[in-house]
């Protein structure tokens, strides 16, 4: 397929170039040169057509908000979804559910995998922002891994806080959720009933079966951590034709921990090295997917030494009234655990932050805290920093 149908139709793009970034991060970039004013009409008429047909025109965010662009897993590496990007373009693909009628979508992600060895599928989803309300649905996909139409709901989770409840009254229906062999229910409806615990029964999976996990953050665009359990094993889907390394770029939102959990759940992510997933259009697919735990790796994996220290700056402003900030310089991608405690050691705020290599600014809200002194602890890798913070009104 030629670029822009034929260059003669889009000659306003006089210097169109394609660049593959370094091995630390793959990106696809397109550069448009200046064009003569006489071509303005051609430019207006053909620019959308040209960009729709370029082979790697990907937006800044990943396209996993639609099932067609789902994250495809090749093993049971634990994941962090750093950020979500709305509901995608297919607004009716969830449809009616057994737990919430027509589920109201806000910020969504789709994940797919194929079972390599039979057994139980368990997982735990934990929001990065502790107050967020997440829902999920698990489907069995009776079709090719790249398809979405023949999906059948197996588990449906819609529990959350009851509107008007006093603080903490619905705590059983917030926070961690997932599948567990310790429970037997197949769905939990809206709100927080007496029988709700945020977990549904594990799935007994057979080799060769395909599954879909749909997650919806009803509260915000913040992401979540996903940790796998159970004894089923995942494999690279046999029908998947993987792209060449030079046709990929690094994901801006999906990270995975390459030491998959064999049994139970590991909760401390700060010691674990993270790798970025990659984005590409696989053979037979019409839109790009995100791939985690899949090859190619050599041109995508970050090869940074992971023992370098993280540099943590001072809190500012301090005293603070609405928020305080701290600059972090990270030598590699990692998880940072942030906690704010009062002088008695009570935890008042906590948050999981996903750091990219380089300098970044973390914003810590304090408007929910009473005036007084607090301790802010930041932990990543072998770096542990504690800062004193004063909140004043």
User: Do 75 and 18 fall into the same domain?
Assistant: no
- Contact predicate 205/232, CB 8 Å: yes
CB neighbours of residue 19 within 10 Å: 9
State whether residue 350 is helix, strand or coil.
strand
Distance CA 352, CA 236 (A): 29
Residue 124 and residue 73 in one domain: yes
36, 86: one domain = no
CATH number at residue 110: 2.60.120.380
Dihedral angle sign, alpha carbons of residues 182, 262, 109, 205:
negative
Q: What is the pLDDT of residue 43?
A: 39
The Cα-based distances of 106 to 109, 156, 260, 352 in angstroms read 10, 16, 30, 21
Give Dmax (Cα) for the chain. 72
Render each residue's pLDDT in the chain as its tens digit; 393 residues.
Answer: 333 333 333 333 333 333 333 333 333 333 333 334 444 444 343 333 333 333 333 344 577 999 999 999 999 989 999 999 888 888 888 989 999 888 788 899 999 999 999 999 999 999 998 888 999 999 999 999 999 989 999 999 998 877 666 656 667 678 899 999 999 999 999 888 888 899 999 999 999 999 999 999 988 999 999 999 999 999 999 888 888 877 888 888 998 885 544 434 455 677 666 888 889 888 777 789 999 988 654 444 444 444 567 889 999 999 999 999 999 998 878 888 899 999 888 989 988 888 888 899 999 999 999 999 999 999 887 788 999 999 998
Say if 99 falls within a structural domain. Answer: yes
- Print the domain residue range for 22: 7-53
**Whole-angstrom Cα distance, residue 236 to residue 113?**
8
**pLDDT at res. 163:** 63
Sole residue written with tokens 């620019």: 47
Phi, psi of 7 (to 5 degrees): -60, -30
Same domain for 175 and 126: yes
> Can you give the pLDDT at residue 130?
80
Say yes or no: 149 and 201 in one domain.
yes
* 138, 155, 137, 141: CA torsion to nearest 10: 30
Are 115 and 179 contained in the same domain? yes
Task: Give the pLDDT score at 334.
Answer: 83
Are 84 and 172 in the same domain?
yes
Residue 102 within a domain: yes
Residue 258, pLDDT score: 59
Q: Is the whole model's pTM more than 0.85, yes or no?
A: no
CA distance 320 to 392: 6
331: CATH: 2.60.40.150
Tell me which residue of 90, 64, 75 sits closest to 215, measured CA to CA: 64
Q: Indicate whether 305 belongs to any domain.
A: no
Q: Are 162 and 261 part of one and the same domain?
A: yes
Angle value at C-alpha 166, between 161 and 169, nearest 5 degrees: 55
Both 95 and 168 in one domain: the answer is: yes
Contacting residues for 351 by C-beta, under 8 A, at least 6 apart: 128, 129, 130, 338, 364
Look at the chain and report how many structural domains it folds into: 3
Query: Is 33 a domain residue?
Result: yes
Contact 291/241 with Cβ under 8 angstroms? no
Q: Report if residue 331 sits inside a domain.
A: yes
What is the structure's pLDDT at 194?
82
Q: Is residue 230 part of a domain?
A: yes
Q: Give the pLDDT confidence score for residue 61 in this predicted structure.
A: 54
Cis peptide before 317 (omega within 30 of 0): yes
The tokens of 162 are what?
Answer: 């009851």
The pLDDT value recorded for residue 37 is 40
Residue 106 lies in a domain: yes
Residues 262 and 139 in one domain: yes
**1 domain residue, yes or no:** no
CB neighbour class for 60 (10 Å; exposed up to 12, middle 13-18, buried from 19): exposed
């Amino acid at each position: 397929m030629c670029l822009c149908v034929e260059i003669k139709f889009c000659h306003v793009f006089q210097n169109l170039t394609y660049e593959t970034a370094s091995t630390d991060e793959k990106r696809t970039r397109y550069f448009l040169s200046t064009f003569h004013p006489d071509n303005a009409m051609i430019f207006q008429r053909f620019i959308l057509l040209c960009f729709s047909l370029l082979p790697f025109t990907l937006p800044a965010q990943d396209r996993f908000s639609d099932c067609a662009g789902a994250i495809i897993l090749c093993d049971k590496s634990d994941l962090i979804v750093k950020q979500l990007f709305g509901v995608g373009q297919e607004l009716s693909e969830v449809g009616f559910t057994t737990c919430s009628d027509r589920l109201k979508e806000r910020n969504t992600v789709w994940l797919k995998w194929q079972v390599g060895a039979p057994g139980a599928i368990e997982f735990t989803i934990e929001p990065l922002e502790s107050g967020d309300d997440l829902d999920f649905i698990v489907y069995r996909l009776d079709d090719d891994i790249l398809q979405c139409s023949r999906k059948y709901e197996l588990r449906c989770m819609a529990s959350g806080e009851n509107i008007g409840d006093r603080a903490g009254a619905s705590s059983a229906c917030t926070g961690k959720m997932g599948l567990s062999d310790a429970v037997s229910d197949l769905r939990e409806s809206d709100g927080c009933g007496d029988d709700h615990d945020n977990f549904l029964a594990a799935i007994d999976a057979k080799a060769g079966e395909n599954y879909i996990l749909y997650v919806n953050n009803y509260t915000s665009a913040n992401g979540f951590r996903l940790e796998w359990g159970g004894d089923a094993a995942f494999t690279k889907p046999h029908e998947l034709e993987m792209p060449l390394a030079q046709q990929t770029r690094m994901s801006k939102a999906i990270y995975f921990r390459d030491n998959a959990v064999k049994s139970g759940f590991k909760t401390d992510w700060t010691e674990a090295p993270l790798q970025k997933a990659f984005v590409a259009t696989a053979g037979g697919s019409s839109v790009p997917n995100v791939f985690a735990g899949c090859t190619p790796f050599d041109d995508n994996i970050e090869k940074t030494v992971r023992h370098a220290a993280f540099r943590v700056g001072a809190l500012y402003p301090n005293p603070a009234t609405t928020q305080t900030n701290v600059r972090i310089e990270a030598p590699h991608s990692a998880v940072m655990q942030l906690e704010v405690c009062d002088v008695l050691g009570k935890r008042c705020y906590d948050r999981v932050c996903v750091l990219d290599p380089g300098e970044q600014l973390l914003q810590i809200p304090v408007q929910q805290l009473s005036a007084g002194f607090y301790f802010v602890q930041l932990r990543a890798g072998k770096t542990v920093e504690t800062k004193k913070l004063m909140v004043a009104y």
